């Protein structure tokens, strides 16, 4: 065999070895490295996002604590009661306020809750929570000043109630004392989640 | 001349071979472990947030946002009946007794007035005419008895700002 042919065989073998090393070892490792770099890039983006998000959460919590959120939370929460006792709680609240104002409660009728999102209220799109409104219709007896006190008391209460209608009529029941000379019918909407 | 080119080709093959092996060793034993470590550190950093009660903190904040927003919206949109009653007292004639129905959804009031004297109704109409917060009113079904006792219906629409 000529020396030139032997050299050629060595060259071809060399090239084959280089190809095999690259194909079976270098390229797979290189691809793995590229994958890891991609993963690091994604995790870094996540890290940045999470860090910013939690910074905002912490800042909001700090602001809430500075604003004494703990005590205010209970006041706000009572407006979005979602317990099965909601109607009873509000009825009790209305009876107490009426009594304190000097009115007699003849009757309280509670309507079915209406989901505000399905109602025609103009502000419905501004609400975040699933707010329902329940109408309470009250029949009351008493005098005008007691009634005004009652209205004022429920308007000033932290439990938000929106008075939708009022009817004031003479009390024709002759057995009533002069101080309970009027009959009132009142519709108030209260809210829950 | 032929020997020289053989040496060049052989050297080139050896250099490429050494480079490939070095590159492989570098990636396998330096780069990849380094990247693994970096990934582990990033994962640990992200996990740390999950451990730190952040789930509850986020719920607390989102509830607060929900409560405050909804409370403010409902507060802004609730009707203030006291304002209307004060307004009504400011122009209702003291000599006329009213039964009244108020519908705050339509800003509408319907009243049945009773007075002993038609002049008081005239005075009431004059006062009504100058009320800026009453958009329109209508007096109907006026009934004047022989003794002067006058009954009438009063329907009026009031300005929305009155119950804000």
**Structure confidence by residue, pLDDT tens digits, B12-31:** 999 999 999 999 999 999 99
| B77 contacts A57? CB cut-off 8 A | no
Specify the pLDDT at position B103. 94
Does residue A72 fall inside a structural domain?
Answer: no
B142 and chain A: CB distance < 8 Å anywhere? Answer: no
CA distance, residue B19 to nearest chain A CA (Å)? 10
B70 and A40 within 8 Å at the Cβ level: the answer is no
How many distinct structural domains can be found in chain A? 2
- A100 and A145 share a domain? yes
**Do A56 and A3 belong to one domain?**
yes
pLDDT for B52 equals 66
pLDDT for position A35: 94
- Let me know whether A131 and A62 are in one domain: no
pLDDT of residue B2: 66
Please give the residue range of the domain that contains residue A40.
1-67
Q: Can you give the CATH number for the domain in which A184 is found?
A: 3.30.70.60
Which residue matches tokens 């209305």? A94
Q: Are A52 and A106 members of one domain? A: no
Rounded Cα distance, A12 and A127, in Å = 77
Residues of chain B numbered 13-42 and touching chain A (CB < 8 Å): 13-14, 16-17, 20-21, 23-24, 27-28, 31-32, 35-36, 38-39, 42
Instruction: State whether A55 and A32 are in the same domain.
Output: yes
pLDDT of residue B46: 83
Most confident segment among A63-67, A122-126, B59-63, B73-77: B73-77
Q: Are residues A14 and A35 part of one domain? A: yes
B117-132 pLDDT, tens per residue?
899 999 999 999 898 8
Residues A179 and A91 in one domain: yes
Q: Are residues A96 and A35 in the same domain?
A: no
Do residue A77 and residue B75 have CB atoms under 8 angstroms apart? no
Name the average pLDDT for chain B.
89
Q: Is A42 on the interface with B (CB under 8 A)?
A: no
Quote the mean pLDDT of chain A: 88
Q: Can you tell me the distance from the alpha carbon of A102 to that of B110, in angstroms, rounded to the nearest whole number?
A: 26
Q: Considering the domain boundaries, does residue A74 fall inside one?
A: no
Q: Is there a single domain that holds both residue A86 and residue A152?
A: yes
Query: A41 with A116, same domain?
Result: no
B75 touches chain A (CB under 8 A): yes
Asked if residue A73 belongs to a domain, the reply is: no
CB nearest to A33's CB, from B35, B99, B104: B35
Question: What pLDDT score does A22 carry?
Answer: 92
Statement to judge: residues A98 and A188 lie in one domain: yes
Of A67, A99, A116, the last residue of a domain is A67
- Residue-wise pLDDT for B74-115, tens only, equals 988 888 899 999 999 999 999 999 999 999 989 999 999 999
Contacts of A37 in chain B (CB under 8 A): 35
**Do A180 and A120 share a domain, yes or no?**
yes
pLDDT at A78: 81
Closest CA to B88 of B104, B100, B105: B100
| Strand segments (E) across B8-163 | 97-103, 108-115, 134-144, 150-158
């Amino acid at each position: 065999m000529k020396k030139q042919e032997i050299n050629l065989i060595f060259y071809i073998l060399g090239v084959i070895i280089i190809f095999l090393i690259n194909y079976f070892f270098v390229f797979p490792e290189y691809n793995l490295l590229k994958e890891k770099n991609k993963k690091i890039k994604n995790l870094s983006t996540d890290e940045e996002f999470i860090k910013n998000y939690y910074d905002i959460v912490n800042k909001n919590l700090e602001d809430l604590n500075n604003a004494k959120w703990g005590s205010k939370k209970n006041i706000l929460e009572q407006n979005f009661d979602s317990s099965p006792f909601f109607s009873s709680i509000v009825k009790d609240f209305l009876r107490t306020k009426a009594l304190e104002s000097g009115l007699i409660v003849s009757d309280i009728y509670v309507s079915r809750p209406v989901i505000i999102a399905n109602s025609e209220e103009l502000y419905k799109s501004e609400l975040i929570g699933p707010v329902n409104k329940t109408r309470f219709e009250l029949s009351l007896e008493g005098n005008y000043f007691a009634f005004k006190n009652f209205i004022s008391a429920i308007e000033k209460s932290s439990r938000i109630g929106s008075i939708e209608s009022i009817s004031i009529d003479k009390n024709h029941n002759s057995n009533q004392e002069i101080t309970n000379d009027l009959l009132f019918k009142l519709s108030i909407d209260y809210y829950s989640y | 001349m032929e020997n020289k080119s053989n040496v060049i080709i052989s050297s080139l093959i050896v250099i490429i071979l050494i480079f490939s092996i070095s590159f492989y060793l570098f990636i396998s034993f330096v780069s990849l472990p380094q990247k693994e470590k970096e990934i582990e550190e990033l994962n640990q950093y992200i996990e740390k947030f999950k451990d730190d009660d952040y789930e509850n903190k986020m719920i607390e904040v989102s509830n607060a946002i929900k409560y405050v927003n909804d409370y403010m919206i409902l507060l802004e949109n609730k009707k203030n009946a006291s304002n209307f009653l004060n307004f009504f007292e400011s122009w209702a004639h003291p000599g006329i007794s009213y039964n009244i129905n108020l519908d705050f959804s339509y800003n509408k009031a319907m009243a049945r007035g009773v007075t002993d004297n038609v002049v008081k109704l005239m005075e009431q109409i004059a006062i009504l005419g100058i009320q800026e917060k009453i958009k329109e009113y209508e007096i109907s079904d006026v009934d004047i008895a022989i003794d002067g006792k006058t009954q009438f219906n009063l329907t009026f629409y009031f300005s929305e700002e009155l119950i804000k």
